[in-house]
Amino acid sequence: MRQISSFAKYHEEYKTSIEQPEAFWAEVAEYFAWGKKWDKVLEWNFTDANVKWYSGGTTNMSENCLDRHLEKHANKVALIWEPNDPKEASKSLTYRQLHTEVCKFANVLLGLGIKQGDRVCIYLPMIPEAAVAMLACTRIGAIHSVVFAGFSSTSISDRINDSQCSLLITADAVYRGDKKIDLKKIVDDALLLTPSIQKCIVFNHRNSAIDMKPGRDIWWSDLMANANPIHQVARFEAETPLFILYTSGSTGKPKGVLHTTAGYMVYAGYTFKNVFNYQMGEVFFCTADVGWVTGHTYLVYGPLLNGATSVMFEGTPSYPDHGRFWDVVDKHKVNIFYTAPTAIRSLQSQGEEIFKTKDLSTLRVLGSVGEPINEEAWHWYDKNVGKENCPIVDTWWQTETGGILISPIAGVTPLKPSFATLPLPGIQTVLMDEKGNEIAGNGTEGNLCIKFPWPGMARSVYGDHERFRQTYFSTYLGYYFTGDGCKRDEDGYYRITGRVDDVLNVSGHRIGTGEVEDAINQHDYIIESAVVGYPHDIKGQGIYAFVTLAGHASGDEHVRDVIRKTVTEKIGPFARPDKIQIVKHLPKTRSGKIMRRILRKIAEGATDNLGDTTTLLDPTVVDAIKAGAL
């Protein structure tokens, strides 16, 4: 795999990638195993949002992650699994073992009639079976849709129905810290509303008492007991759909972001190797859940494509105590550690005493992802975890981008705390002004767009290409719009300032304000709600809900409980509002639109200077809300 060894080389590589993108990405793709090589590296048209990479080529993700390493690295550890409870044994799977499991499960899927193009929903905790299921799907050309195991039954059924999955893979239950989550019970409720599901495979993880519905539910172990361990891969055309991953936007229901085979594979492999400067033999620990894109690209696919050893941790950073991440690093001799700023901030508040007994000397590179990292957290991470000796790669990217777009290259790019620094080779970042023009020069700020395709970019929204075009390619014609605001300093370094739309980033989880409002409004106590974000010390952003009540709603505290419960049921516990203010009226314009801008200011704690309020129907409403602000 191409690797960048110095800052000068980075600049050279960047220049080549912009001047000759097709030649550049063709060379990167040479590293991978292909059935047939591509005829055309790139065809694209941002106006219609159509992008194709490596047309005419055929390849297989699972073969590239597993089979191709067997000759030289069959006995190398592919996956280390660390359980929630440190008293239980961790597990390792070599490339050979993982390959066998995946081949068996691919045969299980085929035996159940799953074929290329079928959608398979995966609702599993952080256990190796999640990776096995994902890799087996890609092996046979089935499209996986992993749903984070913190989502509610309503969220699962919505996602299953949107992409018409015919199979669901789940587990009986899981412990996160000392909390038990009955996954199968949640699934049972979801499956009351999903006519497309024919079978449900259940992995027995905790021996929990569950109901198995005859004819529908089948135990993973029964299916695997006699499964054939030999499976010859078929290679698929480069643009064959690989997976769907639902993510929140500023409007409507979550979108099924669609990634396709060859481009995503090449980009995941290339960025993993280069951003982290991965060296053969190193142990890589990404703390993200496989239910989010970071888990897809940098826990499963990126590392395996490179023959790396990847750690999958089932638990939480604070169980049994706040040193658990460092115990995992110590125990498994982790070299590269990749986490979210929210985790860093929550640990930072617990002090530094805990580090005294941990050996973190194996660490070489640290990473950050999912939200802006504030300088204080950056320095704490650098000092206590990296011992001021590990580069921190602040990696900016999105579900839609497939892989990291802006980031330092470990050990190569000079760092600046809280800056994602520079675009990776092939990534043509631009900042746009309000009028839709590119802003030239440095020392500036605007909306972040990308003006040229890269292999890992999403190709569509599943079943709704027009929504894809509208969401990402219509704000600035001819550009992919990220939804993020961004600064470019005097050195040309990028610093992401956060979303400029109605998407919240709560503990690194992307949540649409509209989704939370829809959930709240479903309760008959509520007439109307408006949800905004506010700065939160640990979560980055907290959720602040303003609600107006129906006449029969009783007791403010009761109403708040009911709202939290409703959001938990409709979305999941991570989307519960932190603050709920009950108001008589919401501030509206004469045409009836809620003025969120004002609510955002109030939620941020502003008492005066709320901006222009002259278009409000009744300006006194604002004073009343201000007086009751939480």
214 alpha carbon, distance to own chain's centre = 35
Among residue numbers 558 through 597, which ones bind ligand WTA (CB under 6 A)?
none
Closest approach of ligand WTA to the CB of residue 252, in Å:
16
Exactly one of 194, 274, 505, 529 binds ligand WTA (CB under 6 A); which one? 505
Binding flags for ligand WTA, 461-500, as an x/- string (CB under 6 A): ---------------------xxx-----------x-xx-
Closest approach of ligand WTA to the CB of residue 570, in Å:
20
Angle value at C-alpha 146, between 312 and 202, nearest 5 degrees: 80
Q: Does 447 bind ligand WTA (CB under 6 A)?
A: no
Q: Does 294 bind ligand WTA (CB under 6 A)?
A: yes
Closest approach of ligand WTA to the CB of residue 374, in Å:
10
Q: Report which residue type is found at 521.
A: N
Burial letters for 414-453: b for 16+ Cβ neighbours within 10 Å, e otherwise? ebbbbbbbbbbbbbbbbbbeeeeeeeeeeeeebbbbbebb
| Range in contact with ligand WTA (rule: CB under 6 A) among 79-87, 345-353, 365-373, 449-457 | 365-373
Do residues 210 and 86 make contact, with C-beta atoms less than 8 angstroms apart? no
Q: Does 339 bind ligand WTA (CB under 6 A)?
A: no
Do residues 47 and 478 make contact, with C-beta atoms less than 8 angstroms apart? yes
Q: Where are the beta strands (DSSP E) in 500-559?
A: 503-506, 509-512, 526-536, 540-549
* Residue whose entry in the numeric block shows the structure tokens 């000796």: 389
Among residue numbers 16 through 55, which ones bind ligand WTA (CB under 6 A)?
none
| Range in contact with ligand WTA (rule: CB under 6 A) among 26-34, 393-401, 564-572, 601-609 | 393-401
Nearest residue (CB) to ligand WTA, 21 versus 408: 408
Closest approach of ligand WTA to the CB of residue 293, in Å:
5
Nearest residue (CB) to ligand WTA, 255 versus 564: 255
**Type and span of the H or E element at 331:** helix 324-332
Closest approach of ligand WTA to the CB of residue 297, in Å:
8
Q: Does 459 bind ligand WTA (CB under 6 A)?
A: no
| Range in contact with ligand WTA (rule: CB under 6 A) among 131-139, 147-155, 362-370, 542-550 | 362-370
For the chain, how big is the Rg over CA atoms in Å? 24
Nearest residue (CB) to ligand WTA, 58 versus 368: 368
Exactly one of 371, 501, 502, 515 binds ligand WTA (CB under 6 A); which one? 371
Number of C-beta neighbours around residue 397 at 10 A: 25
435 alpha carbon, distance to own chain's centre = 31
Do residues 327 and 86 make contact, with C-beta atoms less than 8 angstroms apart? yes
Nearest residue (CB) to ligand WTA, 288 versus 308: 288
Give me the numbers of helices (H) and strands (E) for the chain, helices first please: 20, 30
Of 78, 451, 418, 460, nearest to 244 by C-alpha is: 460
Do residues 360 and 326 make contact, with C-beta atoms less than 8 angstroms apart? yes
3-state SS string for 276-316:
CCCCCCCEEEECCCCCCHHHHHHHHHHHHHCCCEEEEECCC
Nearest residue (CB) to ligand WTA, 381 versus 396: 396
Q: Does 384 bind ligand WTA (CB under 6 A)?
A: no
Q: Does 397 bind ligand WTA (CB under 6 A)?
A: yes
* Residue whose entry in the numeric block shows the structure tokens 């960047």: 14
Q: Which residue is nearest to ligand WTA (CB)?
A: 399
| Residues whose CB falls within 8 Å of the CB of residue 375, separated by 6 or more in sequence, listed in order | 417, 418
- Phi and psi at residue 92, to the nearest 5°: -130, 145
26's tokens: 């063709």
Q: Does 147 bind ligand WTA (CB under 6 A)?
A: no
Closest approach of ligand WTA to the CB of residue 299, in Å:
12
Q: Does 420 bind ligand WTA (CB under 6 A)?
A: yes
Strand partners of residue 199: 167
Do residues 117 and 141 make contact, with C-beta atoms less than 8 angstroms apart? yes
Closest approach of ligand WTA to the CB of residue 472, in Å:
11
Closest approach of ligand WTA to the CB of residue 186, in Å:
22
Nearest residue (CB) to ligand WTA, 66 versus 288: 288
Exactly one of 145, 163, 170, 247 binds ligand WTA (CB under 6 A); which one? 247
Nearest residue (CB) to ligand WTA, 53 versus 378: 378
Do residues 155 and 305 make contact, with C-beta atoms less than 8 angstroms apart? no
Closest approach of ligand WTA to the CB of residue 510, in Å:
4
Closest approach of ligand WTA to the CB of residue 422, in Å:
13
Nearest residue (CB) to ligand WTA, 382 versus 394: 394
Exactly one of 53, 396, 493, 534 binds ligand WTA (CB under 6 A); which one? 396
Q: Report which residue type is found at 486.
A: C
How far apart are the C-alpha atoms of 250 and 482, rounded to whole Å?
12
Closest approach of ligand WTA to the CB of residue 464, in Å:
18
Closest approach of ligand WTA to the CB of residue 396, in Å:
4
| Range in contact with ligand WTA (rule: CB under 6 A) among 147-155, 164-172, 350-358, 367-375 | 367-375
| Range in contact with ligand WTA (rule: CB under 6 A) among 26-34, 203-211, 396-404, 586-594 | 396-404
How far apart are the C-alpha atoms of 405 and 109, rounded to whole Å?
34
Among residue numbers 153 through 212, which ones bind ligand WTA (CB under 6 A)?
none
Residue ranges of the alpha helices (H) in 240-283?
261-275
Query: How many chain residues interact with ligand WTA (CB under 6 A)?
Result: 24
- Phi and psi at residue 361, to the nearest 5°: -70, -15
Closest approach of ligand WTA to the CB of residue 393, in Å:
9
Exactly one of 369, 422, 562, 571 binds ligand WTA (CB under 6 A); which one? 369
Q: Does 399 bind ligand WTA (CB under 6 A)?
A: yes
Q: Does 513 bind ligand WTA (CB under 6 A)?
A: no
Nearest residue (CB) to ligand WTA, 307 versus 403: 403
Specify the long-range contacts of residues 286-289, CB closer than 8 Å, at least 24 apart.
Answer: 286/310, 286/311, 286/338, 286/339, 286/367, 287/313, 287/317, 287/325, 287/337, 287/338, 287/339, 287/340, 287/343, 288/338, 288/339, 288/340, 288/369, 288/370, 289/126, 289/148, 289/149, 289/150
Closest approach of ligand WTA to the CB of residue 18, in Å:
22
Nearest residue (CB) to ligand WTA, 147 versus 227: 147
Closest approach of ligand WTA to the CB of residue 426, in Å:
18
Q: Does 539 bind ligand WTA (CB under 6 A)?
A: no
Q: Where does this chain bind ligand WTA (CB under 6 A)?
A: 247, 292-294, 368-372, 394-399, 420, 482-484, 496, 498-499, 505, 510
